Amino acid sequence: MKVVLTGNDLTLEELVEVSRNHAEVSIDPSAKQSVLDSRKFVEEIVEEERVVYGINTGFGSLSRVSISKEDNAQLQENLIRTHASGYGNPLPEDETRAVILIRINSLLKGVSGIRYETIEKLVEMLNKNVVPFIPEKGSLGASGDLAPLAHMVLPMLGLGKAYYEGVLLRGDMAMEKAGIKTMKLAAKEGLALINGTTVLTATGALATYDAINLAKIADIAGALSVESARGIIDAFWEKLHTIRPHKGSLATAKNLRSLLEDSTYVTHTAEIRVQDAYTFRCMPQVHGASKDTIAYVKEKVEIELNSATDNPIVTGDGLVISGGNFHGELMAQPLDFLAIAVSELGNISERRIERLVNTTLSGMPSFLVKHPGLNSGFMITQYAAAALASENKTLSHPASVDSITSCENQEDFVSMGNWASRKVREVVFNVKRILSTELMIACQAIDFREEMEEGKLHLGKGTQAAYDTMREFVKFIEQDKDIEIYDELEKATDAINSGKLLEEVVSKTELDLI
């Protein structure tokens, strides 16, 4: 696959193809002229020595200081050297590649005053997989992601550090080994490269993509759990949801009906019990609420992928406008909302896990193992899932309600969007493990239920595909001495990470997808 950038139509799916699958990137020729026009105007400002913020002034509260034409290039290099103030672990490779891609696309809007060849340098780095070392911490998410983006730029100048072929090298060495020449920045370019919401958007966008898939997995795991508990399918009746027609609720109920089609494990009202617990009965409402939120966030992400988040904006017809497009609030709030939505998928899943391993609630052996007591079975897998669910509750506290003053009180209200994006990434990571645990436990419970029902029942079309796939990764656990549970949990998580579970279920079942 090749992704062609115009500045206007990059999709979330294309972002994933480039960042994770190393799809080749090119620039559509139609995007070039606006970049050239914007740059021409910057050069006129420099030549005429007109005082314009970010071109020949200091930055932030130092905008009061004018810079001579002779010092323009040094001003931009100084900006990168001093703004690269990050701390902590590096961004993962996929997030760093997403950062570069988004920045290229933003610059192609043609309002940043950057040279076209500088954008081409970023494309070359992406296609040859030079991955700058970007510490994940240090951005306030207003005046953009200044610190992390400055780290992105350092290798372009032969500075900083970058990975090439998986090895961390000095920036100049990484560029040399990749066959890419380093460069000097010209007027306005340093600011154009680092002023924007690019890093928080990259992290948040990939978390959004993963959240979309986890919402589908949550339906699959929940359907298996319903069958193992001989749950009541009537709660997913279409008419029940058309009288409260939220899209996510309708989609979840439809998915559950589709997954459970032809199942004889499920029951109807009063066949075994009159009602199920909320964690089964209210899946359409809870999963649905999360899906509606995820769909909203995806819309916001795709707007941001195709936005100019620079400051000042330099148009090709001679205008320089200083505004606030760098401010991360427009993404910080949605990403905080996303953390809540994904956390809830984990919260309800963990409660279903408890219902399956608790003999009082399930009617099956304690902790779903033969000879409980000698064997602990899935006892502590529920503890671990509960720990992750509880951690997510703290991580779901919004970052966007916080602010702190910076830059001599010039930048006096910030978004904390970078922290919002990193929090939701961690929530997604945790929920993946909770859902993996539920899938593994639900399959174990179905095996016990099959034995109890003497093999007279069969699973639904979708859940049978899910069960069969999970059994390729994890087997029935007879006794503790046969396994190390961490290894089994890792295998269950691999069923999600590999994409095979979703692929197999979707091939057999019609699911409504976000």
Q: Residue 267 sits in a domain of what CATH number?
A: 1.20.200.10
What does the pLDDT read at residue 251? Answer: 97
* Residue 397 placed within a domain: yes
Pair 245, 358 in one domain: yes
Helix axes 500-508, 461-473, angle to 10 degrees: 160
What is the residue type of 490? E
pTM of the full structure? 0.95
Residue ending a domain, among 130, 162, 196, is: 196
> What is the count of structural domains for the chain?
2
Q: Which residues of 263-294 are buried (b: 16+ CB within 10 A; e: fewer)?
A: bebbbeeeeeeeebeebbbbbbbbbbbbbbbb
Query: Would you call the peptide bond into 312 cis, given omega within 30 degrees of 0 as the criterion?
Result: yes
CA distance 332 to 420: 6
Helices (H), 195-246: 198-228, 238-242
What does the pLDDT read at residue 45? Answer: 84
CA distance 505 to 470: 11
Quote the domain boundaries for residue 264: 204-508
Pair 40, 78 in one domain: yes
What does the pLDDT read at residue 408? Answer: 60
* Residue 456 placed within a domain: yes
Pair 191, 219 in one domain: no
Pair 173, 253 in one domain: no
What does the pLDDT read at residue 413? Answer: 66
Is the sign of the CA dihedral 471, 477, 483, 488 positive or negative? Answer: positive
* Residue 149 placed within a domain: yes
Pair 188, 311 in one domain: no
Query: Which residues carry out catalysis?
Result: 53
* Residue 514 placed within a domain: no
Residue ending a domain, among 163, 180, 196, is: 196
**pLDDT tens track for 25-77:** 999 999 999 999 999 998 888 888 787 777 777 666 566 666 677 677 788 89
Pair 34, 71 in one domain: yes
CATH of the domain at 80: 1.10.275.10
Pair 218, 103 in one domain: no
What does the pLDDT read at residue 80? Answer: 94
* Residue 513 placed within a domain: no
* Residue 145 placed within a domain: yes
Pair 336, 297 in one domain: yes
Pair 136, 242 in one domain: no
Residue ending a domain, among 136, 167, 196, is: 196
Distance of CA 92 to the CA centre of its chain: 12
Pair 344, 397 in one domain: yes
* Those residues with Cβ within 8 angstroms of residue 500's Cβ, 6 or more apart along the chain or in another chain: 469, 472
Residues of the chain with pLDDT under 70: 58-67, 70, 407-413, 514
What is the residue type of 316? G
- Residue 188's SS3 state is coil
Pair 149, 220 in one domain: no
What does the pLDDT read at residue 240? Answer: 96
Q: Between the CA of residue 429 and those of 261, 312, 343, 432, what are the distances in Å?
A: 31, 37, 10, 5
Pair 74, 113 in one domain: yes
Phi, psi of 75 (to 5 degrees): -55, -45
